[in-house]
Structure 1
């Protein structure tokens, strides 16, 4: 047992700082306060001392805390599941963690370390596509130093769980497979006997049956997934690559088709209240409706009553049914430019639960009363029957308020729309006082032609109508969390942790390079970042600082334990407003039904023991959906730009790594890569603090956020990959020292040699 100290008074004994740090480093799976107390036999009042000591270690940046578990800053577990993703020219194979949070930066890559086999001993071997359980070890001499660390395989978890996905291109001798992953860009040969019925243009899953250090690997078709000649083929690639369920089982469809429209029994009749839906013009389901009116109460002058009604999905999707199990499996709807993969069948999502204009629909509504400063005075939940008075798009509603109503909006401008905008003006005062994180990161939207190809890419205008609905939904979500917490009812929170101390220190060092300071203070608030963003607004550094601040933030997720929502600066927050497309919201609806006695279709018994796993699953499903949506857009744009190889474009540096620069084009938002070996005659080294590549002799600097001009050199539509050549000169900087110059030169030569060998293997 590690050494303990005893304070001078009678306070119970507790471990030293060094002992705690050593224990957590050696036992990464046992990092909770309870684990530490048990390991050092800390009981009674000693737990108070231990809690204070852990808080000090966290404040000093020596420990990270995520929910209730402490760990070394940026530490990886000693044992983890990995996927074998690549093989180099020397035959070494590389692996990456199966699970990795995007906010932790690039996914680390490990090299598999060879183990000497003793007589009679079984040592697991793995190949491309295998999933393994592995132990992290130090990287021995002679291995690629670009790897994060070495791993030793403990056992195979799944042998080639899904094969390698690629596009089959037939020829007279057999075929070649063009992988769809940016990580696996080498083509593979498939002989005639190994085609398994696949045709030209098919999306196939293949197994590598023979790898080669020189030349292309040989593969066998495991199954045909789809054909790219069909419409919506690009999104189908992402669906299969990310294992997104997209076909409803027969029993789920049957259950949905049998569902009957809800009746007025057990509900308040709100059909006369003129609630309206405001959605994108192409929305097929409408799960929220809003209403605002001045509060007539004498004790609330200039206050407002805001009502938000949400589709009552819990009335149709009962716990434990096939419909419910499939919804949990999907976790959320997935939105592609050419299709939607819904969480619920169309009969439920687009019909019975959709708040259609002038049709009776069941809903769960919250009635909120705000004072003249936008502070919520009270709220109440109601299970109702409603009838939407109008279906509006954001653009229609905004145009009407701006003095350009159409035939639908003209009759309701005064009675419905103006009270909504007046209420929003009041709520916006409280929002500005609260100071949520205000990043300026424009979104791109890909518009398609009827044949599924790209028509154009736009950045939609951000209207007041968007902000209005967003703020009303936030307030409804807060009300749901407050009610359930007050009633001590289990729920899934939407949580967003504050940035880790490690990321804050990196941001602090970066800002110092721009002569800006990030104060060290205990009570971190989003407004600290907002003041930084305001300072650089309308300056050449604005885009750069917005990007770096965004990367310093944690990723929001779901959890049954509440740590608040840092980005929104809210202590209690739960998703309530989109149960048609998010399973988390359905859980909150059921919890409200149970807590408020609104019916018999609330939470099932024993749900408390399952919420942590459910939260983990739906958080993973959300990340899966985001990845699939992003990959599809990348492939569509790469396909669109494939006939413009050689053209020049304006863009910005959107990412800097040891291997090169990621470029984001201004016109389309497309992302591509510039290998470091193509930057020029100088040797470039990576400066992590400044997010830069710096020339070792000249000091020429390429930094995150820099405006650049590039030439498109190569487009790989199926992988969604673009390769650029940079035409702009870098900024002026200070040359590196002799040691950094030598390291940069060696790294460049290693990459050039690797690039040459890859070209030889591909037959180019």
Structure 2
């Protein structure tokens, strides 16, 4: 066959042979040889100019379709967990095709922005155009940078705001986005990483003046990639929401529930009530009600609200703002249990005996009307005999029963022995101008503790209820500490003169005995901090691995679905288990439960990092005017490069670089967490009291650099004057001898600190 095919025949053949688009493939298929190939080349060129085929190097394909093997860019998962991709080189007319990426078991982990080579399969009747399977990864997502832009003649440079990152980025002239000098920008890496010279970046967003009021939290939001704008579809769903009807719900509006929250709380998602139990079999017992806003009624599976909430995972709290999980129409209105307003809830009624043990519980989907929106200090004052006008009519019938039930729960807590850490929480107060007006430690009242105990018991009831009904759920998991972390804690305890039991299964009671030994001593804060650092990080999982810190077998978050997606999943599970409606746990929710647990655990860690960085930056701004001042503090960490000091006044953490501590070599002992002066024998370790001078405070990074003046009330040894008049340490001395000497010093220090 040497007949030249028509354009229609060529298109039909390309559709049937998607992997064979080279000119020689077409010629071979139609039997074209010799001079006839010139005519075929002309026809293919015409088809390319007309747009009916697309030319890729030496092959042709139908321009309305993607080739069977394509380069894709991942655009990230949606709220349902599906991973989507786009074809950057799409050349067809109309909208680019929608591509669902289907990872297989064993595929490497991929992130939004990664470029892959994928095998494409057309999809019909699926709501998308193609399914893609990974062949190989060809490029990772571009690194993001948040920093200060400095204009130069060659474009500009970006100085990152991360404390540990001093590397600048070069911005070419056409990639500055017209950023001004000194402006805070977000940028991404452009081009491959340079082996020599500065890496290149392009500005993708101008954030604004880094010194503007409330810019500190905005920096953290961009730096950690926290979503802070709700899509239009989410806002439209929230705005269209209507108050829930009573239909099918238990009417509890006649019971005097109250909410107890901080003075600045905007939402009230939990209410409680305690009644005496008239059951003769439970003499001296209580009926404890905990009612939680029924967020599941408004945020239904698969909705835009649901997808966005799953993506955010939780609300993020900064000193100057909140980035909520749900729009204010829900979190501040329809799902907030305001005083005197009828609101839908999922409530649990718990029978508690006089010893604080939960004997039974019952869940219900109900309607309540709060009898009072109260504050912690206000409730505490009423209990102590100083009720205000709002609390006076509630004191005997509502407030005092709360404290009665709490007293019983304290007895149960004492028997259970959850971890009893005593670490004061800082509160940064921001004035109207967006500046830090004060830093103080929050007061812990019994009013705080009773709400915490009520919520813990309700969370336990939720986990036990779903286990009883054999329904899937998300547990809040806290695994026991690793053996090496406990051994490090044991060394800190011994160096402080205390003991931590060895050779038995670790329980929270053992740690509590250690904390009790340190209470009131100079090592109190050190032992509490070291115990906290020994703990593993809690996370969410569909498997029940227990909660070590609370000493509980089964624990699930149920009490705050306004700000935690995990709680919303538990609410849906309860709805399904009790057949309360069609807005319960969906089949898809169950299918992706493992993935959801991972997603929201990562979101929680992201929020914690952003909140911590924001606190550091506000503290650095607060102390910036006091550079040169002296502060007392305690060593909270030791590393090879220096020591970390927690300041008494503000709780801020600063770094004393090892290079600034005298003029001798310091050996770092990672096991004992000590720096030991090779010449003077000076030993610097966690928990020692110090006097420091503030050398530098950098608000944009949150960094504090300190100068060490005194340790345990003693001035530092004079440079070059060691014990016995020895000469300074000689760097060329054999390291084995140095380590042997330093190990002996460490043992001597430990023995000297032990109590007789």
Q: Same fold (TM over 0.5)?
A: yes
Residues 658-697 of structure 1 mapped to structure 2, 5 A cutoff: 658-697=640-679
Tell me which residue corresponds to 1:611.
593
Separation in 2, partners of 1:258, 1:744:
73
- Preserved contact between residue 179 and residue 718 of structure 1 (Cα < 8 Å): no
Q: What SS does structure 2 have at the residue aligned with 1:623?
A: helix
Q: Which residue of 2 is the match for residue 243 of structure 1?
A: 225
Q: SS of the counterpart of 1:299?
A: helix
The CA RMSD over aligned residues, in Å, is 2.7
Gaps of 5+ in 1: 1-128, 134-153, 746-764
8 Å CA contact 1:683–1:741 kept in 2: the answer is no
What SS does the aligned partner of 1:655 have?
strand
Flag the 1:645–1:230 CA change in 2: closer, same or farther, 3 A: closer
Is 1:294 the counterpart of 2:284 in the alignment?
A: no
1:458 maps to 440
Name 1:198's counterpart in structure 2. Answer: 179
- Post-superposition offset of 1:387: 0.2
Residues of 1 paired with 2:194 and 2:584: CA distance? 58
Offset of 1:540 from its aligned partner? 1.5
Asked if the contact 1:691/1:704 (under 8 Å) is kept, the reply is yes
2:472 to 490, 512, 527: 490
Q: Give the Å deviation of 1:534.
A: 0.6
- Identify which of 386, 401, 409 aligns with 2:391: 409
The range that moved more, 225-234 or 459-468, is 225-234
Which structure has the bigger radius of gyration? Answer: 2
Asked whether 1:180 is paired with 2:178, we answer no
Mapped partners of 1:156, 1:522: distance in 2: 51
Task: Give yes or no for contact 2:289–2:348 (8 Å, CA) kept in 1.
Answer: yes
- Which residue of structure 1 aligns with residue 377 of structure 2? 395
- The number of aligned residues is 596
Conservation of the 8 A alpha-carbon contact between 1:328 and 1:618:
yes
The verdict on how the C-alpha distance between 1:155 and 1:724 changes in structure 2, with shifts beyond 3 A counting, is: farther
- How far the C-alpha of 1:672 sits from its partner, in A, is 1.4
Q: Partners in 2 of 1:196 and 1:318 — Cα distance? A: 40
Q: Can you list the C-alpha shifts for 1:41-80, whole angstroms capped at 9, x where unaligned? A: xxxxxxxxxxxxxxxxxxxxxxxxxxxxxxxxxxxxxxxx
1:66-145 pair list within 5 angstroms: none
1:167 to 148, 165, 183: 148
Q: CA deviation at 1:234?
A: 0.9
Q: Tell me, yes or no, if the aligned pair for 1:685 and 1:741 is still in contact at 8 Å.
A: no
Structure-1 residue corresponding to 2:20: none
Residues 333, 342 of structure 1: 8 Å contact kept: yes
Where structure 2 has 5 or more consecutive residues not aligned to the other structure, the ranges are 1-111, 117-135, 724-728, 742-756
Residue matched to 1:540? 522
Matches of 1:155 and 1:693, distance apart in 2: 44
Q: Say which of 500, 511, 517 aligns to 2:493.
A: 511
When structure 1 is superposed on structure 2, of 203-212 and 248-257 the one drifting more is 203-212
**Mean CA deviation greater in 185-194 or 300-309:** 185-194
Farther off after superposition, 601-610 or 655-664 = 601-610
The answer to whether the Cα contact below 8 Å between 1:201 and 1:229 also exists between their aligned partners in 2 is no
Change (3 A) 1:213 1:487: closer
Secondary structure of the residue aligned to 1:693 is strand
* SS at 1:185 equivalent: coil
2:556 counterpart (568, 574, 581): 574
Corresponding residue SS for 1:630: helix
8 Å Cα contact 1:510-1:689 kept in structure 2: no
Q: Give the 3 Å change call, closer, same or farther, for CA 251–209 of structure 1 in structure 2.
A: closer
- Distance (Å, rounded) in 1 between the aligned partners of 2:410 and 2:389: 29
Once the two structures are superposed, residues 618-658 of structure 1 have per-residue CA deviations (whole angstroms, 9 ceiling, x without a partner) of 00000000000010111111122222222211111111111
Match for 1:739 among 735, 738, 748? Answer: 735
Once the two structures are TM-superposed, the CA of residue 605 in structure 1 deviates from its matched residue by: 1.4
Higher alpha-carbon deviation: 267-276 or 593-602: 593-602
Query: 1:281-328 CA deviation, whole Å, 9 max, x = no partner?
Result: 000000000101211111111111110000000000000111000000
Secondary structure at the aligned position of 2:282 is classed as coil
Q: How far apart, in 2, do the equivalents of 1:587 and 1:323 lie?
A: 14
Which range is displaced more, 275-284 or 292-301?
292-301
Deviates more, 1:462-471 or 1:699-708: 699-708
Tell me if structure 1 keeps the 8 A contact 2:637–2:686: yes
Q: SS at 2:711's partner residue?
A: coil
Counting only pairs closer than 5 Å after superposition, residues 353-502 of structure 1 correspond to structure 2 as 353-502=335-484
C-alpha distance in 2 between matches for 1:258 and 1:363: 20
CA gap 1:297/1:381 in 2 versus in 1, 3 angstroms: same
1:323 counterpart (301, 305, 311): 305
TM-score, normalisation: structure 1: 0.74
Equivalent position SS for 2:637: strand
Cα shift at 1:557: 0.7
Whether 1:703 aligns to 2:701 is no
What aligned pairs does 1:203-282 form with structure 2 within 5 A after superposition? 203-207=184-188, 220-228=202-210, 230-282=212-264
Mapped contact 1:685–1:740 kept (Cα < 8 A): no
The range that moved more, 192-201 or 308-317, is: 192-201
